[in-house]
Amino acid sequence: QVHLVESGGGLVQTGGSLRLSCAASGRTVSSYAMAWFRQAPGKEREFVAAITWSGDSTRYADSVKGRFTISRDNAKNTVYLQMNNLKPEDTAVYYCAADADYQTSRFEYWGQGTQVTVSS
């Protein structure tokens, strides 16, 4: 079992930055691919970014490329999402996820989410 806890959400103005953190515990989390998803009100949950267990490969949704950066620190069992140049359409609950398969679209483990609100 893998337990994920997100933090770092909040209210920020358009153009601002936030860094989300996801602390992982349980099974050998350092061997899992990690990802961030988000869900805006009235919309389906969507993929944001993912990173391999080693951190040597990442992928992003087109909507966040060039603005968001995913990274991880396996010594701390933590994955991060640096979000720059935030836009009102980035407002959502952001979820951390983990899975053994980096390419999957159906991650196995999920956190409870952290709210990000971008004001215009």
Considering the chain, what is the average pLDDT of its residues?
Answer: 95
Statement: residue 105 has pLDDT above 90: no
Smallest CA-to-CA distance from 70 within 3, 7, 2, 19 is with: 19
- What is the spatial distance between Cα 66 and Cα 37, in angstroms, rounded to a whole number? 17
What is the pLDDT confidence band of residue 26, given thresholds at 50, 70 and 90? confident
- What is the spatial distance between Cα 114 and Cα 81, in angstroms, rounded to a whole number? 12
pLDDT in tens, 49-88: 999 999 999 999 999 999 999 999 999 999 999 999 999 9
pLDDT at 56 (0 to 100): 94
- What is the spatial distance between Cα 41 and Cα 115, in angstroms, rounded to a whole number? 11
